[in-house]
Structure 1
Amino acid sequence: MTAWILLPVSLSAFSITGIWTVSYNESCSPDPAQQGGPKTCCTLDDVPLISKCGTYPPESCLFSLIGNMGAFMVALICVLRYGQLLEQSRHSWVNTTALIMGCTNAAGLVVVGNFQVDHAKSLHYVGAGVAFPAGLLFVCLHCVLSYHGATTPVDLAVAYLRSVLAVIAFVTLV
């Protein structure tokens, strides 16, 4: 069962690599200043936003793949974590709510990945509006579960670390 630790690590590695691959593309609309030459960024302000860069082929295919594969891995992580806490006799509404929020996050990621911002803007933004807050709530609920289940100083340190990371995630979300 210890090999499952590779799942969150591979989710991060896969997502970060895929996002950077999609963000730096050459398929954006041409820059009028360069007489028809391609732009290297996908926004008006020349900031490579993943949602905008993932609109154009072939990057749109990779963007959908990242969203769907990431959503699957998030759902799998949520189910495994839920089961892990059940094995530790933590039958609580917080654990169940965390599972629901994690799966809601995964559903939002599927919507974001499959409906590109230039073609279905409202659906894309609804998916993002569901995915990001649900993911943040999932993290916050696991902070609570970490504090309640801390039995050793290492467990308490992990709870503090999760809390710090949750605050950083909240600040970046806002």
Structure 2
Amino acid sequence: MTAWIVLPVSLSAFSITGIWIVYAMAVMNHHVCPVENWSYNVTCTEEMPRPGFPKTCCTIQDIPLISKCGSFPPESCLFSLIGNVGAFMVIMVCLLRYAQVIEHSHHCWLNTSALVSGCTNAVGLVMVGNFQVDHAKSLHYVGAGVAFPAGLLFVCLQCVLTYRVAVTALDYWMAHCRVALAIGAMISLVFSGVFFIHESFVLQHAAAICEWVFTVDILVFYGTFTYEFGSVTHDTVLAGLQHVYQQHHLHLHHHHHGSGIVLGPGARPSALGTGSKGLKSPGGSSTSTHLNCTPESIAML
């Protein structure tokens, strides 16, 4: 087991706990109405806030969307912190998962696409966390429009990759669980979008609930990477870095010479992505069988 198993668990626990604390603060500060409230009014007269109690008169501006919960201080400060720290941990998880799949000789466009979509999700989270909806609406909606679809794409691609690298029955059970989470995320995101565009109070409230379900679902999905990260070692990271380094030099070689890689006398093609090797369960805790990383394996002109 490695210390990396703490990363996905921390991402899920920190983010889920944090957004619910933000929600509780917003309710207690009368910035939104509680989730269990389904009664809304067109307008409300000014009411005296009762400390420790939620609002009794709610308008459409008080619907507890996640973004609305983090619009005003002091909860907006915590909301920004969660967005920034969560985005950093998302990028770390995506990079480690990318390297781990590379290590298992499964380099493909799906893995690269998953890395790009995960990092795009992180960028959207930063925008959502730092541009509050009531103060920078356009930028906030751009961030949400980037973060939500990118997050959904990431989990869908990871479902496919989980099946591709699965070895044991437990690996396949993990893949099945991730498919269930991905389906739940897709359904909740679609319903959230459909309900959000209506002006009905009830549908707007339903959109908020679907948004909460989607967010928690995605965060739980990230937490499932604890299963694989028990086998991550420094060689896993090196495998990912080596691949990025090779791809960079391939790009430079094509750009300057237009002829790709030329193998020198006696050189052997890289084993990356094409060579066969014994695989262990991606969720195992023993040391992985690593890639051939000897520098003489490729001669580049």
Amino acid at match of 1:100: V
Spell out the pairing of 1:6-25 with structure 2 (5 A cutoff): 6-25=6-25
What secondary structure is seen at the aligned counterpart in 2 of 1:32?
coil
Counterpart for residue 54 of structure 2: 40
* Residue pair 1:15, 1:70 contacting (<8 A) in 2 also: yes
CA drift of 1:151 comes to 2.1
Amino acid at match of 1:34: E
Q: TM-score scaled to structure 1, two decimals?
A: 0.90
Amino acid at match of 2:48: Q
Spell out the pairing of 1:13-92 with structure 2 (5 A cutoff): 13-25=13-25, 26=29, 28=31, 32=45, 34-35=47-48, 40=54, 44-45=59-60, 46-92=62-108
Q: 1:144 aligns with which of 139, 147, 160?
A: 160
CA drift of 1:147 comes to 1.5
Question: What do the CA deviations read for 1:54-77 (whole angstroms, capped 9, x no partner)?
Answer: 111111111100100110010010
User: In structure 2, what is the Cα distance between the partners aligned to 1:16 and 1:102?
Assistant: 18
User: In structure 1, what is the Cα distance between the partners aligned to 2:63 and 2:13?
Assistant: 22
Amino acid at match of 2:140: H
Amino acid at match of 1:71: A
Percent same amino acid among aligned pairs?
Answer: 65
* Residue pair 1:136, 1:166 contacting (<8 A) in 2 also: yes
Amino acid at match of 2:94: C
User: In structure 1, what is the Cα distance between the partners aligned to 2:13 and 2:74?
Assistant: 21
* Residue pair 1:27, 1:56 contacting (<8 A) in 2 also: no
Q: Structure 1 36/168 Cα, relative in aligned 2: closer, same or farther at 3 Å? A: closer
CA drift of 1:40 comes to 3.0
User: In structure 2, what is the Cα distance between the partners aligned to 1:40 and 1:48?
Assistant: 12
Counterpart for residue 115 of structure 1: 131
Question: What do the CA deviations read for 1:88-123 (whole angstroms, capped 9, x no partner)?
Answer: 111111101100000000000000001000011111
Higher deviation after alignment, 156-165 or 107-116: 156-165
Q: In terms of Rg, which structure is larger?
A: 2
Could you list the runs of 4 or more consecutive aligned residues of structure 1 that deviate by over 4 angstroms after TM superposition?
36-39
> Which of structures 1 and 2 has the larger relative contact order (alpha carbons within 8 angstroms, sep 6+)?
2
Greater per-residue helix proportion:
1
* Residue pair 2:101, 2:165 contacting (<8 A) in 1 also: no
Q: Structure 1 62/159 Cα, relative in aligned 2: closer, same or farther at 3 Å? A: same
Amino acid at match of 1:97: S
Counterpart for residue 172 of structure 2: 156
CA drift of 1:49 comes to 2.3
User: In structure 2, what is the Cα distance between the partners aligned to 1:161 and 1:35?
Assistant: 48
User: In structure 2, what is the Cα distance between the partners aligned to 1:165 and 1:36?
Assistant: 40
Runs of at least 5 residues in structure 1 that lack an aligned partner in the other structure: none
Runs of at least 5 residues in structure 2 that lack an aligned partner in the other structure: 33-43, 191-301
